[in-house]
Structure 1
Amino acid sequence: MRGWKCWPLTLVLLVTPGLCFGEEAKKSKDSLVTMDEVVVTGTRSEEKVERIPANVTVIDQEDIKNSSARTVPDLLRSQEGIVVRDLLANGKSAQVDLRGFGEAAPYNNLILVDGRRVNEIDLSGVDWTQIPLDQIERIEIVRGTGTVLYGDNAVGGVINIITKTPSDQFAFSAGAIAGSYSRVKEHASVSGGQGPLAASFYGSYDSTQGYRENNDYRAKDVGGKIVYDVAQFLSLNMTGSYHEDDYGLPGPLTKDQLAVNRRTSLDPLDKAETEDGYVKLGSDVFFGNWGNLVTDLSYRSRDSKSDFPDPLFPYVIDSQIETYGFTPRYVHKGDLMGRSNTLVTGVDFYWIDQDLKTYSGLLSSSTTLTGLADISRDSYGLYVNDDFSVLENLILTFGARHEKADYDLHQRDLSAFPLAPLDETVEESENAYTAGLTWLYSGKSALFGRYNRSFRFPLTDELVLFDYVAGNIRVNQDLKPQTGDHYEVGARHFFTSNLQANITFYRAEIKDEIFFNKATFTNENYEQTLHQGMEIGCRADLFEILTLFGSYTYEKATFRDGPFDGKDIPAVPRNKFNVGFRIHDVIPNLVFSADYFYVGDSYLISDQANRFEKLESYYTLNLRLSYAWKWVNVFAGVNNVTDQEYSEYGLIGGFTSTPYYYPAPERNWVGGIEIRY
């Protein structure tokens, strides 16, 4: 990397933990976790953070407002245990990795929006741009597997993005943002209510030319939420949104090409577009001392199209996915044998259908239909989870889940030399368990430990195999569900209400971890892998004007047998840390913030043998200044202040096994204004 030496900033990081453990600070109104912080992700019911046997973080509106983040993945960069890889630098294809799963991270982490799953059944991953940052109330992060409560995908952790809830107070906001690379965004929202009815609606438009050639992005979003308190015992709600975008696919570059021009593209015509909409109906029925029944019914439609107009072999992929969900759950909070007890039990039903069309041609436009697929996956998951206070300050957590998935796979090859069609069904089922203990040894300070068993079912793309030797399309019979045993212990300590630190040690023994083998071009299972590490976070609110925070993550993900025994899993850096500060109200309503990020080196994706040069470590420094006056807020920020040249994503590609990289933006700026009433 070129640029400044990073030792002065590294020294700041070493000093910050000392501040977090230093003498008592004055009380601040801007704490990350308040004394009454309640989350819903850790138990699928409202529960105080300190009672959950896991490393839990809540990012609230104050953190979002003072951040230099443009997208949700940007916001998650500062969190311990999380590594972000943004291929296109606009959030569209970002990978968020909890606890070191590398290339397979999008399929081993569960992402929720208001408790609704947004992970797809294929390899498309999570579309982070469908969630406008200005509509988020808070983000709850539960590190470590959440398979008992949420089922498939929740191996490395669960991230629940909770959108703003309307109130009966009238509110209006509108804003505009401008930045480098012709970035422009306009957004507006309105909310209010009367009596038992409250509603909110929003709309936004976002566009940029992007850092590189063919890196443009344009998106439109509209959505809303309605809450109706029918009676004291019944509440109804409806949420929905519609998102559409189109964007360029600039592709990767070799190291030599990066040296000539980092911003160029070898694929100047590759494009993609998306239409994504959903609606969710919810009800909450209260039975007094008998608990409450929460029911969510959802529908989502996602159409995506990718166009690769290669002059020799043009190719188009057109996918439509429809998802129906029904997730009733019963929650009972009361006493059991004179002790506090919370029981959550429910069932998750999902019915998912995908229609896939491929078009290709030889020395012509890609208008010839060459492939058809009709794929469905129906699943149900039955679960129970209980938190029982053995003592007033000792909470025992235990639970179990059984989940079954049925795949119906139909695929046709319509090319000039077609393979035999696929018409098969597959059934998979797995069980998960959890047991944990939380000891509240002083106020909110706690020690915790837990064991979990996780599973991940194969994605539909992973199950389908094009066998050109046998001349057919068939099910990948050798591919098995992935399972794991997870162990973790940790501590959360509050020196005062505004001075806190946490540390967590974890170990995950994964069996049959699913990966794509570049050598055979098939999805296979690693027999045994090991993911282990340490997460540290701290925060101090000092003198009512200064907030300091820092985090450190050590991750070691390795193969435990087979041809790669002892080698590192690619795309998992051993070290990552973040340090930052917020100075607020030295001048009334003025906030200055700085964030420094460091990510260590890692092996390139598909380099399981660890033969190639590593993806280099990198660091960035972001600054932001904001000022609020009455109902007006203005801000300006600079990202990558030291103008580093780096890449977050690298892979071994092509038949020649060449290293390729996706370059990240150099120094760039952003500014905006927002009016709130």
Structure 2
Amino acid sequence: MISKKPLALACAIAVSLPFAVHADEPAPTTVVITGSRFPSAESLEPIGATVITRDEIRQAGVNDVNQAIRKIGGVFGRQSLDSSPDFALDLRGFGTNGPQNMVIMVDGVRLNENELVSSVLSTIPIDTVERIEITRGGSSVLYGEGATGGVIQIVTRKDPRYAQAGTHGSVFGEAGQLRERDLRASLAHVAGKLSFDAAVARQDNGNYRANSDFTQNSLSAGVQVGYTGGRAGIRVESARQDSRLPGALSMAQFQANPRQTQTPNDFGSLDTDRVNAFAEVRVGEVDLAAELSHRERDASLNYFFGPDLSVTQYDGRQTQFSPRARWLHTLDGGMLNELVAGIDVIDWTRKTVSSYSLSDASQKSKAVYLRDELRFDPAHDGRVALGVRREIFDKDYVDAMLGGVPDNGSQGQNAWEAQGSYRVLPQLELTARAGQSYRVANVDENSFRTSLSLLKVQTSHDLEFGASWGDAARKVSARVFQHKLDNEIFYDPTAFANTNLDPTRRRGVEIDAEADLAAGWRATAHLQHVNAKFTEGPNAGREMVLVPKNVLTARLNWLPGNGQSADFGAQWVDRQRYGSDFDNRCAATMPSYVTFDARYAVKLGPWEVAVNGLNLADRHYFSYAYGCQSGIYPSDGRQLKLSARYDF
């Protein structure tokens, strides 16, 4: 049972800080990213960052955060297994463990769970999102374990000091093929330095396959106050999901009818509740901030094996407290220095009730980090940054049904980073990064492993060099990167358990390009090339499974300024090894595929009407298969949708 004291403390922070400081109110500044876990000026944005704005989300016509990250941010996503829109995201080619090798933050709070599940983003009302920030590459210093592939931050809260006064809102409705219906409403009120916002949503989708219906109801509400030197607030979110589970197909079944199911009775549900209190204040040159959050996650899975029903229930709780401070000051000669220090404390627990397990699991982590960045040559945007982190994990796992204590103990891990950039020409900037990141085995991995010993900590030595050429009208950026991993934590199909792999490596190239082609026309593209291989052991030189070598995402936007808008996108995903093909002996690979989507919208006063299409070519393909030409989860077919939105 989680104590109610953290929630009381959150309320106390939010209420008391407005009266604690009497510094002068800062003038509004342009905020582009929170790379240092504080809002930063453009000159301090992290290397390799992609920012998706609220306007881009609306113009692309996406209905949830996960889809925005994939369609606009160019992040590869793998079809969800539970009919939900929460695809498994993967930065830099970590396959089925992609979600465990990246960190997702929502308003400064870590969303990752200590289990083998993807972060649930569809429960975040899309109309509350201000921006999404994607930083690729090792980020464990600021964000802790599992950040080898990078970090994705979703920012929802709006600053009442600079928001438009009065009452504003929107109502949105959409209907489409496959029995898709989406209803959303949002409302915001700003009165001086006090603001309130709320959003409700209902999603229903019959989806592409038989037995894949999905229903979700969500609610989000927040209140915050701006005051001299800062702001504070609290946000509450709640969501209820019901999913049918279509299961996997063999290759013969997929080719005969990709819409069929072999599990017509399986189903599941997920209930999530989150509360987050935050406070920010500036005292002279020092910024102070803190989040205190509590999350409850209850899941139920119901599988039929012939006439027998197997029910598994998971009851998870997580509380996080993250205070931090930043000293942003100017040195002699005009050099700007940013020193950030912080603490992350997380308490996670889960109870499992099933026919095969009655387990209690917990993990407590305590971390301290320090990072300093110096802008030493403002004329050439010269920057150098150094950072370190120390994190202690305490684990405990007991299964009353199986007996024994298979997972308990304490361990500490370190991360470091060094990065720099320099503008050698007015339009040419060079960048470099190096560091060490880490990942700790989660409760599911340690409870189903190959040996009596706990899985070792996965470590990665990260290296990256980049160059960026251009300006706001036309720009291209390229990064070459390498992640050398020891003790990578992965499911080994040859051992039928989770294990520490022999040394592996991710080596690749990322290219981002954007250009204004003509008046009202803009094109963007993201290419990721990854070579993921074993470097030692019996599989040395062989490719890792379920990692496409190339993923290319391109978009073309038309915004003539007369109330019309159009958005067209395409994504090509290269071939990849089947999930069981560790020795690369499977006679086939998963086929490559290309998908297209488009949206056309017209504004008529406060109304906007739009038509939207996904997988326009109705391509039959799959992005996940756990066996050699078997265990296939087909991806969605074509879907056409019509929507209307009213803003007030």
Fold-level similarity (TM above 0.5)? yes
Aligned to 1:42: 35
Question: Is the Cα–Cα contact under 8 Å of residues 125 and 220 in structure 2 kept in the other structure?
Answer: no
- How far the C-alpha of 1:658 sits from its partner, in A, is 5.8
Structure 2 distance, partners of 1:199, 1:547, is 35
- How far the C-alpha of 1:41 sits from its partner, in A, is 3.5
Aligned to 1:235: 231
Aligned to 1:662: 633
Structure 2 distance, partners of 1:476, 1:179, is 52
Structure 1 distance, partners of 2:166, 2:468, is 36
Letter of the 1:51 partner, please give it: L
Question: Is the Cα–Cα contact under 8 Å of residues 312 and 352 in structure 2 kept in the other structure?
Answer: yes
Question: Structure 1 runs of 4+ off > 6 angstroms?
Answer: none
Structure 2 distance, partners of 1:194, 1:402, is 43
Aligned to 2:370: 384
- How far the C-alpha of 1:527 sits from its partner, in A, is 2.3
Structure 2 distance, partners of 1:459, 1:566, is 28
Question: Is the Cα–Cα contact under 8 Å of residues 349 and 362 in structure 2 kept in the other structure?
Answer: yes
Structure 1's 546 and 102: CA in aligned 2 closer, same or farther, altered over 3 A? same
- How far the C-alpha of 1:38 sits from its partner, in A, is 3.5
Structure 2 distance, partners of 1:551, 1:78, is 10
Q: 1:204 aligns with which of 194, 201, 205?
A: 201
- How far the C-alpha of 1:312 sits from its partner, in A, is 5.3
- How far the C-alpha of 1:90 sits from its partner, in A, is 5.2
Aligned to 2:453: 477
Q: Secondary structure at the match of 2:619?
A: coil
Aligned to 1:437: 420
Aligned to 2:260: 264
Q: Secondary structure at the match of 1:148?
A: helix
**Aligned residues with identical type, % of pairs:** 26
Q: Secondary structure at the match of 2:253?
A: helix
Q: Is 1:532 aligned to 2:532, yes or no?
A: no
Aligned to 1:487: 463
Aligned to 2:574: 600
Question: Is the Cα–Cα contact under 8 Å of residues 324 and 352 in structure 1 kept in the other structure?
Answer: yes
Q: Is 1:223 aligned to 2:211, yes or no?
A: no
Aligned to 2:492: 517
Structure 2 distance, partners of 1:89, 1:596, is 25
Letter of the 1:263 partner, please give it: R
Question: Is the Cα–Cα contact under 8 Å of residues 81 and 143 in structure 1 kept in the other structure?
Answer: no
Question: Is the Cα–Cα contact under 8 Å of residues 80 and 552 in structure 1 kept in the other structure?
Answer: no
Structure 1's 140 and 381: CA in aligned 2 closer, same or farther, altered over 3 A? same
Q: Secondary structure at the match of 2:306?
A: coil
Q: Using the TM superposition, name which of 454-463 and 76-85 deviates more.
A: 76-85
Structure 2 distance, partners of 1:667, 1:658, is 23
Structure 1 distance, partners of 2:230, 2:509, is 44
Aligned to 2:151: 158
- How far the C-alpha of 1:71 sits from its partner, in A, is 3.1
Question: Is the Cα–Cα contact under 8 Å of residues 343 and 386 in structure 1 kept in the other structure?
Answer: yes
Structure 1's 445 and 143: CA in aligned 2 closer, same or farther, altered over 3 A? same
Alpha-carbon deviations, 1:428-487, whole Å to 9, x = none? 2110000111113455752110101000011011112489xxxxxxx8515100001000
Structure 1's 138 and 257: CA in aligned 2 closer, same or farther, altered over 3 A? same
Q: Secondary structure at the match of 1:527?
A: coil
Q: 2:389 aligns with which of 374, 398, 401?
A: 401
Structure 1 distance, partners of 2:476, 2:452, is 46
Equivalent residue runs for 1:573-652 within 5 Å: 573-585=548-560, 588-612=562-586, 613-652=588-627
Letter of the 1:572 partner, please give it: V
Question: Is the Cα–Cα contact under 8 Å of residues 603 and 614 in structure 1 kept in the other structure?
Answer: yes
- Unaligned residue ranges in structure 2 (runs of 5+): 1-28
Aligned to 2:269: 273
Aligned to 1:470: none
- How far the C-alpha of 1:665 sits from its partner, in A, is 2.1
Aligned to 2:311: 316
Letter of the 1:399 partner, please give it: G
- Unaligned residue ranges in structure 1 (runs of 5+): 1-35, 360-369, 414-418, 468-474
Letter of the 1:101 partner, please give it: F
Q: Secondary structure at the match of 1:386?
A: strand
Structure 1's 589 and 206: CA in aligned 2 closer, same or farther, altered over 3 A? same
Q: 1:60 aligns with which of 45, 50, 53?
A: 53
Structure 1 distance, partners of 2:602, 2:417, is 47
Question: Is the Cα–Cα contact under 8 Å of residues 51 and 438 in structure 1 kept in the other structure?
Answer: no
Structure 1 distance, partners of 2:330, 2:604, is 49
Q: Is 1:139 aligned to 2:132, yes or no?
A: yes
Equivalent residue runs for 1:77-88 within 5 Å: 77-78=70-71, 82-88=75-81
Letter of the 1:640 partner, please give it: N
Alpha-carbon deviations, 1:258-312, whole Å to 9, x = none? 12211110001111101101111111122113x0210111111110111112225
Question: Is the Cα–Cα contact under 8 Å of residues 535 and 551 in structure 1 kept in the other structure?
Answer: yes
Question: Is the Cα–Cα contact under 8 Å of residues 377 and 407 in structure 1 kept in the other structure?
Answer: yes
Aligned to 1:182: 179
Structure 2 distance, partners of 1:661, 1:483, is 31
Structure 2 distance, partners of 1:313, 1:373, is 22
Structure 1's 651 and 68: CA in aligned 2 closer, same or farther, altered over 3 A? farther
Q: Secondary structure at the match of 2:195?
A: strand
- How far the C-alpha of 1:346 sits from its partner, in A, is 0.4
- How far the C-alpha of 1:50 sits from its partner, in A, is 4.8
Question: Is the Cα–Cα contact under 8 Å of residues 440 and 447 in structure 1 kept in the other structure?
Answer: yes
- How far the C-alpha of 1:68 sits from its partner, in A, is 4.4
- How far the C-alpha of 1:133 sits from its partner, in A, is 2.4
Q: Using the TM superposition, name which of 163-172 and 145-154 deviates more.
A: 163-172
Q: Which structure is higher in RCO with an 8 Å CA cutoff and minimum separation 6?
A: 1
Compute the RMSD of aligned alpha carbons: 2.0
- How far the C-alpha of 1:545 sits from its partner, in A, is 1.3
Letter of the 2:565 partner, please give it: V
Q: Using the TM superposition, name which of 348-357 and 126-135 deviates more.
A: 126-135
Letter of the 1:565 partner, please give it: A
